[in-house]
Chain A
Amino acid sequence: MATDAPYLAARGVSKSFFGNPVLRDVSIELYPGRIHALLGENGAGKSTLINLLSGAMPADRGTIEIDGNPVPRMSPAAAQAAGIAVVQQELSVTGSLSIAENIGLGSYPRRFGIIDYTELSARAGAAASLVGLHEPLSMPVGNLPLGRRQMVEIAKALYRKPRVLILDEPTSSLSASEARILTELLQKLKGEGVAILFISHRLPEVMALCQHVTILKDGVRTADRSIAGIDADGLVRLMVGRDPGDLFPHWTTARSRAKAIVIKGFSSGLIREADLEIKTGEVLGIGGLAGQGQEDLLLGLYGATPAETSAAEVNGNAGLPRSVSQANAMGIAYVPADRKREGLHISHPIITNLLLPGFARAAALRLRNRIKEGEIAKGLAAHFAIKGDLDRPAQALSGGNQQKVALAKWMPHQPQVLLLNDPTRGVDVETKREIYIMLRQFASDGKAVVLLSSDTPELVHLCDRVVVIREGRIVSELQRADLSEQAIVAAAVGAEPTVTAA
């Protein structure tokens, strides 16, 4: 199956950001007619490796080879010329351009220097129908929902008739039927001799589709082998470096009868008519496929997006908070998923990040006390094991430490309810463990913790209770005894029997 030279290879590449090594001496070889899986936890360096392979970033050390020849200055244009196409996790589409113009972007067919729209229509149409994209080609991509944009992104890669196709978590925002179309498509391309690199968190998908696997852990390659003769548990062990069970703390429930939040007929964003009780001392998990309204539930409770409800009670007060300040005053704190955009001021010092909620509620013109501020910040840093000089900008911290800052900044205000939006996304394993222990600690201190997570094992192993949201409605509530990944995924995808459970 594999010929002599790999179509595309990285040899001993390293890369670091702000002094944090993200990849260390990693090699990978992509052969034609093979689907190659790249596995690793969030933050293991997968996306960085893809950026190096596709020329979007230069490597600090090591070389990229095309057909066995080292390429000294790899760039996206060079990658395109060599037939390398990438489907990024972060979309590269332009909302104001049409589907066809997006698919052809960067390599339009031309006649007399002008884009040949007739030709573009034919070729882009062919690529679009390969991925089952039947919307009119003239429709602006901005009008499409996220899953369909992802299909445009894939069609864009196919349009270039690639020899090497790299897909970074292409299925995470796709529906089951879209994912099936993609799977069949990849099988077909493999038959045509395309070299495919496939990144996914859905292990059954990987086991079914791929022949070879490379695993990264904390920026180091821990495995590079045929997928035959290894099972899903074995893959997880290689990714995590330990048995999956060890990641989570052992705990006993601290749930009390007291209710922290009660909502009836709650609507906000995508959420429609939700009824929910959150008790003190519990960790309540929120699960479901991406983008079903989970985030709207948290933001609505936090007063950050407008919400309506027929009855609500928050820590003994009637009614929902109508602004963030009100929510804070009622004892609710929120930790966003996207640290760089929503959670932190990455260009500002760590210390001001840690103290910002305090500044937000202090009297506007009272003089600051730098000594006291320093003491508070030092205390928080010590408690959360945030190391180093607190005057550095927050962007100097690793993802895990940034997350700890985003969490720690609320602690001086003793919140009674913590709303956490995917707190372990892009966080290294050690920090994950620390965060898990903290979450259980919060619960046993009598706080209510609401944990929205895209990582199903988290929900299974940490929560007293999990509610699953589908299409804006709470479709299932699972108690600790009934919790399993199968049960959550089954509820998330609806009546459809589960294909994706691990």
Chain B
Amino acid sequence: MNSSTSAASFTRRASMVLRSRPFLTFATVLLVWAVASVMRPGFGAFGHLRYLVELASVIGLVAAGQTFVVIAGGIDLSIAAIVTVSAVSLPLLSIDADPTGLTAILATLVMTTFIGLGNGLGVAYLRVHPMIMTLAMATFLQGLLIIIAGGSAISSQNPLVAWLGNARPAGIPAGVFVWLGVSALVLLIMHATPLGTRIYAIGANPLASRLSGVPLQATTTVVYAISGFTAGLAGVLLLGMNGQGYVGIGDPYLLASIAAVVLGGTSILGGLGTYAGTMPGALLLVTITALITVVNASAGWRSILFGSLVLILLLLSGREKVRR
């Protein structure tokens, strides 16, 4: 039409973006970075910020799957175990026939995707509550880990894994590139494909979705499989950064992934939210952790500060509307 209405619609859109949760979370991260850099000169150094983003990439990957699952109305409590399984079994898979190490990585990802698929089948077809299904899966995997690792740390010889964990093409960690690539794909699936719309639909109202012809069980299964895949990928990256895998390496990422999802504005009740919020959510999480480290407090205070800050941030922005 004419320019005045298009300008008006542009202003409206712009204000919508400015008031959206992803943007606000991102702005919070930048603000915290700015303030912290003034207070502590070392904080704002490129190297330090780069390190934070690198740490966030692992959380971001785990939380990618978690975001899908939570939007679909579930929760994945087996994520920590899957990350560990990935990081522990990959070094054992280093096949001599493939000097690049790619085969081992692909095999690991296929395996973790199947683990996620198992979760999905249990939730969708056996109708086990997601919390129980993924919890039982975590217990199951714990047993599996003892077989394959036997309790000791296992060093990785895989060259590609080492590259992913340590290389810095163009000064930016390879892991961050992986994260950005996965993010682009996740956002595309979430917002630009019918699959994404179905995932939102089953999370908001499974019954109405089924009656509208949405394949409820297949969609649910896919969501958990995606979560298995991204957790596996996070495990690969973590292994690369650490050099070795051990039982318990994935443990911090369960709560971190849920916290990143919720901080990013995704409703824990399902149906509303976006990965665009989870990404700054992951950054915010590592930033909080880094700040607490800067404060140089004891482990106890760090944990208390972390929990309190997460709670306060949720109170400030993330109130669930009452729904039934």
Question: Which residues of A are interface residues toward B (Cβ below 8 A)?
Answer: 302, 304, 324-325, 327-328, 334, 336, 341-348, 352, 355-368, 409
Contact = CB atoms under 8 A, between A and B. Distances in A.
B205 A360 contact: no
Interface residues of B, number: 25
A360 B215 contact: yes
Interface string B228-270: 0000000000000000000000000000000000000000000
Contacts of A365: 189, 193-195
A357 B213 contact: yes
Nearest to B202: A345
B209 interface: yes
Task: Sort A-B residue pairs by CB-CB distance and give the 8 closest, nearest first.
Answer: A360-B213, A364-B195, A362-B194, A359-B194, A360-B214, A359-B197, A328-B213, A345-B204
Given A347-B272, A357-B213, A366 B194 contact: yes
Given A347-B204, A368-B192, A336 B211 contact: yes
Contact of A345 (B189, B193, B194, B271): B271
Interface string B281-318: 00000000000000000000000000000000000000
A357 B194 CA distance: 10
Contacts of B204: 345, 347-348
B197 A352 contact: yes
B52 to A, nearest CB: 33
Nearest to A373: B197
A359 B191 CA distance: 12
A166 to B, nearest CB: 23
Given A360-B194, A365-B195, 5 more contacts: A345-B205, A352-B197, A364-B193, A364-B198, A368-B192
Contacts, number: 86
A362 B195 CA distance: 9
Nearest to B271: A347
A352 B208 CA distance: 13
A81 to B, nearest CB: 26
Nearest to B16: A391
A304 B213 CA distance: 10
A342 B207 CA distance: 6
Nearest to B214: A360
A336 B200 CA distance: 20
A57 B215 CA distance: 38
A7 to B, nearest CB: 32
B210 interface: yes
A361 B219 CA distance: 12
A354 to B, nearest CB: 11
B323 interface: yes
A336 B210 CA distance: 12
Contacts of A348: 200-201, 204, 271
B15 interface: no
B6 interface: no
B212 interface: yes
A419 to B, nearest CB: 10
